[in-house]
Amino acid sequence: MLLEQQATGDEAVAMGLLRLGSAICRAPARQQHPIGHSGRTRPPTDRPLASVRVMTSSPPLPQRYLLGFMVLGTLAGTSNGVAKVVLPLYAASLHASPWQIGLVGGLQFTGMLLLSMPVGGLIDRHGSRPLFRFGGLAGAALYLLGFTQMDRPWQLIAGVVLFGLLNPFRMVATQTEFLHLLPRLGPRKAGWQRASHSLGMFFVGPMLGAQLLGLLGYTGVFVVTGLGLLATVLVGDRVLSGAPPGRGRSATPLVERLRGQVGIILSRRDLRQSMLIELCGQMAMSYFAVFVVLIAIREFHLSVPQAASLVTIQGAVFVLTLLLAGGALSPLRDAARYAIAFSLLLATELLLAFPLGVASLWLGAVLLGLGLGVQHLTSVNRFAALTAELGRGRVGGLFSLSGPAGSLIGAVAGGSLGQRFGLLSGFRVLAALYAVLMVWHGRGVLAENDQTVALAEGESE
């Protein structure tokens, strides 16, 4: 009898284990095939960023990777900063008309609007390193062999257009790789790549370009810039990855990847929200950088150096926020960080839209840099989480598209608005825009899919 009872108990245990094993085996199948009865992919809105948590057990990257990204961002930003200053001046020396000079200054980054998504699709197929290498080598060749030989405005405009089309191969590849590695780098460093690029583009590049122009002339500046782009290729080969495992020639065709990116935008509300917020931030930064100097000179009679220092202060606060605020913000969730950012930016736009004196401009510059820094840190972490779930090329291309689109809208649409209603009207529209974002945030529209910023919990830094 005792033996029969023991046998019966063993059979019950065995049956329980079989049921448990069957449940475990069936669970991944439901996660891997989120297809509804309609045949469309169902976005996993209940756990949109769960895949990031799987990566939290990955070991932290060696410090040389972060240093490499910082050097890469600074060099790339410096080359772009030199171009922003030197190329329009070179166009003027060639007796270009004002509209031609405007084309030279404005067409340098239009390639980001046209090629961000295609380059993102290519990254999933070929990896970041070969695309960055192509963009760096082709850009260096253009500076060394092209710009040095151009002596007519139309030639320079054509060269700028070509350089703008090469830019995405470097910038999208770098940003995508950083988003991919951010869970292993840690949330404290979310803004470091953007900070290093901004440091080169807005501080080192313009100052270096002005100094080199006085010492070497235009040809010498072009040669130094070309050599600098070659240096970025050497650094990029050390920190960027090659083709992802299992991809390559057998990967999905590029056209299908583009369709997939569009499908992701349409199906993922959290991605659309992140892109919209990043676009609004770049609109605010672009309008301030383009028009606050004119407002300070015309309305408050500041000198040119004093007015230009408003942009410098805003950029400095933005860079410092990206470098230093990641640790302070890491315990907070997306909703709290966006509440801080939107509050700062709404106060900024109201100060600039209805300035009580010149002090409003200085305070607005500080608050704008701080608010944009907090907003960008949050957006970078959200995009990094989406990258881990949806693929780095898909999300990286969309992330790189939002910024240039916002910059273009802020400058062009803001200029048209300012010409008709006055330059302060742009800040009033931006204040209304951030008021809407605050309302959406208060109603919980932007708080969906909320998640703590600490993507790599328990990381060792």
pLDDT value, residue 133: 93
- Burial class of 46 by CB neighbour count within 10 A (0 to 12, 13 to 18, 19+): exposed
pLDDT value, residue 188: 74
Q: What is the mean pLDDT of the chain?
A: 77
Alpha carbons 222 and 90: distance in angstroms, whole number: 11
Digit-coded pLDDT (tens) for 356-380: 989 999 999 999 999 999 998 888 8
DSSP letters for 284-345: HHHHHHHHHHHHHHHHH---HHHHHHHHHHHHHHHHHHHHHSHHHHTTSBHHHHHHHHHHHH
Report DSSP state, residue 188. G
pLDDT value, residue 40: 39
Structure-token pair, residue 10: 């063993």
Beta bridge partners, 41, equal: 35
Quick one: how far is CA 328 from the chain centroid?
Answer: 21
Rounded (10°) angle between helices 153-185 and 358-390: 70
Residue 85 has pLDDT above 70, yes or no: yes
Arithmetic mean of pLDDT, 227-253: 72
pLDDT bin (cut points 50, 70, 90) of residue 332 is confident
Arithmetic mean of pLDDT, 93-99: 83
Per-residue exposure over 47-73, b if at least 16 CB sit within 10 Å of its own CB, e if not = ebbebbbebeeeeebeeebbebbbbbb
Structure-token pair, residue 208: 């270096």
* 258, amino acid identity: L
Looking at per-residue pLDDT, the higher value among 197 and 64 belongs to 197
- Within 10 A of 79 (CB to CB), how many other CB atoms are there? 29
Alpha helices, H only, 200-268:
205-239, 254-267
Q: Which of 345, 406, 403 is nearest to 375 (CA)?
A: 345
- Burial class of 272 by CB neighbour count within 10 A (0 to 12, 13 to 18, 19+): middle
Look up the pTM and report it.
0.68
pLDDT value, residue 198: 83
Report DSSP state, residue 108. T
Alpha carbons 184 and 205: distance in angstroms, whole number: 30
Arithmetic mean of pLDDT, 170-187: 80
pLDDT value, residue 124: 73
Arithmetic mean of pLDDT, 160-189: 83
Q: What percent of the chain has pLDDT over 90?
A: 24
Is residue 160 a contact partner of residue 104, using CB atoms and an 8 Å limit? Answer: yes
Looking at per-residue pLDDT, the higher value among 95 and 4 belongs to 95
Arithmetic mean of pLDDT, 184-203: 80
Looking at per-residue pLDDT, the higher value among 169 and 451 belongs to 169
Q: Which of 277, 285, 447 is nearest to 377 (CA)?
A: 277
DSSP letters for 31-46: HH--B-TTSSBPP-TT
Q: How many helices (H) and strands (E) does the chain have?
A: 17, 0
pLDDT value, residue 58: 56
Looking at per-residue pLDDT, the higher value among 26 and 349 belongs to 349
Residue 256 has pLDDT above 80, yes or no: no
